[in-house]
Amino acid sequence: MNAAALQALIFDVDGTLADTESAHRAAFNHAFAELGLGWEWDGPLYIRLLEISGGKERIAHYWNEVHPDVKPLDGQAMSETIDHIHELKTAAYERAVQDGAVALRPGVLRLIESAYNDGLRLAIATTTSPVNIAALLRASIGPDWRNYFQVIEDASTAPKKKPHPQVYLQTLERLGLPASACLAFEDSANGLKAAQAAGLATIVTPNNFTAHHDFSGALRQLPSLDGVGVAHLRAWHAGRAG
What DSSP designation does 182 have? E
Radius of gyration from C-alpha coordinates of the chain:
18
Q: From residue 227, give the alpha-carbon distance in Å to each of 110, 148, 157.
A: 9, 20, 33
Candidate list 12, 19, 154, 187, residue with the active-site label? 12
Whether 12 sits among the annotated catalytic residues: the reply is yes
Total residue length of the chain: 242
Give me the residues paired with residue 215 across strands. Answer: none
The backbone torsions φ and ψ at residue 33, rounded to the nearest 5 degrees and listed phi first, read -65, -40
Q: Taking Cα atoms as reference points, which of 149, 150, 162, 158 lies closest to residue 188?
A: 162
Per-residue DSSP letters for 59-107?
HHHHHHHH-TTHHHH-HHHHHHHHHHHHHHHHHHHHHHHHTT---BPTT
Which of 14, 19, 154, 187 is the catalytic position?
A: 14
Residues with catalytic function? 12, 14
